[in-house]
Structure 1
Amino acid sequence: MGHPKSVQPQGDASVQESKVEVATLANGVQVLALRLPQLPTASVSVFVRTGSLHESRRSNGISHVVEHMAFKGTQGRSCQQINLDAELLGAEVNAHTDKDHTAYHMRGLAADAPAFVAMLGDIVRHGTYPEAELARERDVILQELSEDDDDPVSTAYKLFDHHCFGAHPMALPVIGSRRVIETLTRDELMAYVARQYTGANVVVAAAGDVQLHSLATAAEAAFASMPAGTPNTVAPPQHLGGLGAKRQTGASQTHVVMGFPIPALAQPHHAAVMAAAVFGEGMSSPLMDEIRERRGIAYYCSCSADVYEHCGQFIVEASMHPDRVDEYLGAVTGLLAAHAQGIAAVSLQRARKQLQVRELLDAERPQRRLERAALDMMSLGRVRDPRERADALAALSAGQVSQAFADLLRQPVALAMAGRVKPGAIDRARQALAAQGIGGV
């Protein structure tokens, strides 16, 4: 086990009073302890640097299937025993798969955190993926996939990612493809785990009244025999851009997703994050005020800046009656173009304060903080000080945020529509974008 080190946040104690301590096992497994001594509970997670980003079209969905199957039995415990062991400690057990990682979680009493590390280690390291359980779970995942395919929001996002990234695995949906899910074998699952689940790609993290030494000792027992491997790296995608639509029978609304590339996590991305907050954070934001309050075009609309290790996306989305799509696109493209010309001081003040409060709310969510810290370690090799983000956002001027909008609008735009899509909608969308000189269309 390596020497522990800590990242101690500086500055306003209201932002962060805790510290993150880090230890590294000989095989590369990293152990993070986020000290929150005021909490009687602990959240413990094992993060693995593998997800749909690390798949091919021929294997799309395997990360998600592995996550489901990991709880179906290990070399020493049945599925039923796994659940009982957790519940005897009053613990919650869960997992999720994302584009860039898979994570396994337990939450319970802080004193039981080392036991959670051991239980999660058993699930991650020693899954047996029984054939009979795979057949049953396959049906469950296929039902989940059918629901996802029927959802206009999910469909629009899958189409949007396709137009953003083309053949790059960043475009692959986390839930996977029906063909792959229907044909995956136990041997393929086990081979995938042996290849992807290695020490260089694992972070064991806990938040609560926990001690690094006891966590690292538990992690050593659970993970020290894991092969070291090498980091699961992927070449960054190129943002392509493009417009597309998919009509879905039975849908009553059209869901529209539009977006532009922004810098990745290690690059200067804070101006784009602030731009998204200026544009769509809160009911008084230009997006909500114009689209919902003044025009009544859509009940739901939002804007976000999603920043990953390899890329970033500035996304504006909304659901509306198909008769209002043209009006919506004219309004939203006009708003984007106006923000590239200038930002009002009050808009920047509002957005800055909302991001500050969002950061504080995130600080109250141990699981959210664990995920951020683990992904920082995987992407940057360090855990960012919360003040680093806060200071970078606070230092932005109105001119810099306005320039971020101008930079966005020069990039190739990706736009997707799904649900009840009227004939000619894409041609009219292209005209609306071209009228504002957006995205090179």
Structure 2
Amino acid sequence: MYHKTVLSNGVRVVTEKIPGVRSVSTGIWVSVGSRDEDDGEQGVTHFIEHMLFKGTQRRSALDIAKALDAVGGFANAFTSKEHVCFHAKVLGTHLPMVVDVLTDIFLHSTFAPEEILREQQVILQEIRMIEDTPDEYIHILLQELFWNPNPLGRPIYGTAQAVASIDRERILRYQARTFNPARTVIAAAGDLEHQRFVELVSPSMATLPTRDSSNTRETPTNQAIREVIPKDLEQVHLCLGMQGASHLDESRFACHLLNVILGSSMSSRLFQEIREKRGLAYSVYSFMNSHEDTGLLGVYSGIAPDNVEETLQVIKEQLNMLAEQPIAETELNAAKEYVKGSMYLNAEITDSRMNRLAKNEFLFGRYIPYEEVEEKINQVTAREIRQWFRQVFHPDQLALVLLGPVEPDSLSAAL
């Protein structure tokens, strides 16, 4: 059962009681992410995410860890392009403790200078780790190129230079500007009662001062940039991108289904054609990155240098087929069952339910029943998918990045 309460300062509290579970997942969300950072602030949202577990006026970092470990709980945080979230999962009986810990770190973190210096080194290692993981790093490179120079394309973790320049004053200034009640949602799902939860969070979160809540985000213009980045690797990592659906587009259901048909499942066209029939790659898939005002539909594959041209050719053939040929009803129905099955399986996890509550509140301002989503999925036709794809697919406007042992002049030959 869903409930919503708005605190006196504008903080929204949304909960969903799930019968039959003993755990509860809760999170404090702020609608601010890497795309909201000004020049010189790159990576500061992600940095704050790390720092909030490093000590408050009442608790040391060890105290925070011990409080959760003592009840078998789990706490973490994440930063995205548009949100930062501090969340935890415990048994319902321990909800008062976890609310006290989360609100304490959110409102009273000290940002000790010595901890900032230490965490700078941790995040610099994180950046190097990602850059040493080519199948992850290439997605970051594609987004940078595809949305350049818009902040949406920037890496969430910032740059090494920007991270090294972050200090306590910059953190406090940014936090004061962005962490305000109008952007804040507290979500919880599982074994809880709404009114009791509101009573737990209200005394502390209602003290969050009201500030200017303006949150202007400029929609990026897609860039059809194609780039080869030579690197001494065993494989060439290929990432291709085009316009995708945003979280708010009515076409998002058609885009999700097309993504499943194209490459996000083992029975998908790309998996079957590139891996199963030709043995060109071990890893090949399509993906969707959706945001509130835009999206990216892409294809990734890790391949041997000698297979780059053939793999690109197969990808282009499959994209052209989706634009030119109708999708069979059997294929569409299988994709619908795949999407609905994934949705309902995730609904059995309290973390997923909590995430869904917060995101729907930010995007739509309301709870969206699973049955409503299922109906939208069922209503999508093969004709609608094809029409949408023909609007966004332009072969001469695809963004493409190749990372690995490949020569720069090989890109023209591959295309």
TM bucket normalised to smaller: over 0.9
Look up the equivalent residue of 2:376 and give its one-letter code: A
What residue number does 2:270 align with? 287
CA–CA separation in structure 2 for the residues paired with 1:159 and 1:84: 38
What residue number does 2:57 align with? 75
CA–CA separation in structure 2 for the residues paired with 1:225 and 1:421: 56
Q: Aligned to 1:304, what secondary structure does the other structure show?
A: strand
Q: What is the identity percentage for the equivalent residue pairs of Structure 1 and Structure 2?
A: 29
- Is 1:422 the equivalent of 2:407? yes
Pairing partner for 1:378 from 340, 352, 362: 362
Q: Deviations over 1:310-356 (max 9, x none)?
A: 21111111111111111000001001101112212221121111111
- Is 1:181 the equivalent of 2:166? no
CA–CA separation in structure 2 for the residues paired with 1:417 and 1:280: 19
Large movers: runs of 4+ above 3 Å: none
Look up the equivalent residue of 2:23 and give its one-letter code: T
- Is 1:324 the equivalent of 2:307? yes
Q: Is the 8 A contact 1:159 1:244 kept in 2?
A: no
CA–CA separation in structure 2 for the residues paired with 1:425 and 1:103: 42
Q: Deviations over 1:40-73 (max 9, x none)?
A: 1111111111111111342111111111111111
Alignment size in residue pairs: 411
Q: Is the 8 A contact 2:78 2:84 kept in 1?
A: yes
Q: Aligned to 1:104, what secondary structure does the other structure show?
A: strand
Look up the equivalent residue of 1:222 and give its one-letter code: S
Pairing partner for 2:394 from 391, 402, 410: 410
Shift of residue 28, structure 1, vs aligned partner: 1.2
CA–CA separation in structure 2 for the residues paired with 1:147 and 1:29: 36
CA–CA separation in structure 1 for the residues paired with 2:92 and 2:367: 22
- Scaled by the length of structure 1, the TM-score of the pair is 0.90
Q: Deviations over 1:286-314 (max 9, x none)?
A: 11110000011110011122322121111
Q: Is the 8 A contact 1:278 1:347 kept in 2?
A: yes
Q: Is the 8 A contact 1:114 1:214 kept in 2?
A: no
Q: Is the 8 A contact 2:21 2:191 kept in 1?
A: yes
Q: Is the 8 A contact 1:281 1:354 kept in 2?
A: no
Shift of residue 231, structure 1, vs aligned partner: 4.7
Shift of residue 387, structure 1, vs aligned partner: 2.1
- Is 1:300 the equivalent of 2:283? yes
What residue number does 1:6 align with? none
- Is 1:58 the equivalent of 2:40? yes
Q: Is the 8 A contact 1:275 1:404 kept in 2?
A: no
CA–CA separation in structure 1 for the residues paired with 2:407 and 2:280: 16
What residue number does 1:203 align with? 185
CA–CA separation in structure 2 for the residues paired with 1:349 and 1:123: 46
Q: Aligned to 2:32, what secondary structure does the other structure show?
A: coil
Q: Aligned to 1:235, what secondary structure does the other structure show?
A: coil
CA–CA separation in structure 1 for the residues paired with 2:54 and 2:264: 41
Moved more, 284-293 or 232-241: 232-241
CA–CA separation in structure 2 for the residues paired with 1:154 and 1:178: 17
CA–CA separation in structure 1 for the residues paired with 2:105 and 2:406: 44
Q: Is the 8 A contact 2:238 2:300 kept in 1?
A: yes
Pairing partner for 2:240 from 249, 253, 258: 258
What residue number does 1:434 align with? none
| Counterpart mapping for 1:66-215 below 5 A | 66-215=48-197
- Is 1:387 the equivalent of 2:371? yes
| Counterpart mapping for 1:393-404 below 5 A | 393-404=377-388
What residue number does 1:242 align with? 225
CA–CA separation in structure 1 for the residues paired with 2:173 and 2:89: 29
CA–CA separation in structure 2 for the residues paired with 1:168 and 1:66: 22
Q: Is the 8 A contact 1:152 1:254 kept in 2?
A: no
CA–CA separation in structure 1 for the residues paired with 2:146 and 2:372: 29
Q: Is the 8 A contact 1:256 1:317 kept in 2?
A: yes
Q: Deviations over 1:259-300 (max 9, x none)?
A: 111232222121111111111132221111100000111100
- Scaled by the length of structure 2, the TM-score of the pair is 0.95
Q: Aligned to 1:59, what secondary structure does the other structure show?
A: coil
Q: Is the 8 A contact 1:263 1:312 kept in 2?
A: yes
Look up the equivalent residue of 1:362 and give its one-letter code: N
Q: Deviations over 1:137-158 (max 9, x none)?
A: 1111111111111221233112
Shift of residue 239, structure 1, vs aligned partner: 1.9
Look up the equivalent residue of 2:222 and give its one-letter code: H
Q: Aligned to 1:340, what secondary structure does the other structure show?
A: helix
Pairing partner for 2:337 from 334, 339, 353: 353
Q: Is the 8 A contact 2:229 2:408 kept in 1?
A: no
CA–CA separation in structure 1 for the residues paired with 2:353 and 2:274: 33
CA–CA separation in structure 1 for the residues paired with 2:61 and 2:27: 19
Look up the equivalent residue of 2:168 and give its one-letter code: R
Look up the equivalent residue of 2:166 and give its one-letter code: L
Q: Is the 8 A contact 1:340 1:404 kept in 2?
A: no
Kindly tell me: are residues 365 and 337 of structure 1, through their superposed partners in 2, closer, same or farther at Cα, counting changes over 3 Å? same
Q: Is the 8 A contact 1:152 1:248 kept in 2?
A: no
CA–CA separation in structure 2 for the residues paired with 1:421 and 1:404: 34
Shift of residue 80, structure 1, vs aligned partner: 1.5
Q: Is the 8 A contact 1:34 1:208 kept in 2?
A: yes
What residue number does 2:209 align with? 227
Q: Is the 8 A contact 2:89 2:351 kept in 1?
A: no
Q: Aligned to 1:339, what secondary structure does the other structure show?
A: helix
Look up the equivalent residue of 1:122 and give its one-letter code: D
Look up the equivalent residue of 2:301 and give its one-letter code: A
CA–CA separation in structure 1 for the residues paired with 2:237 and 2:198: 47
Moved more, 52-61 or 133-142: 52-61
CA–CA separation in structure 2 for the residues paired with 1:85 and 1:238: 46
Q: Is the 8 A contact 2:3 2:15 kept in 1?
A: yes
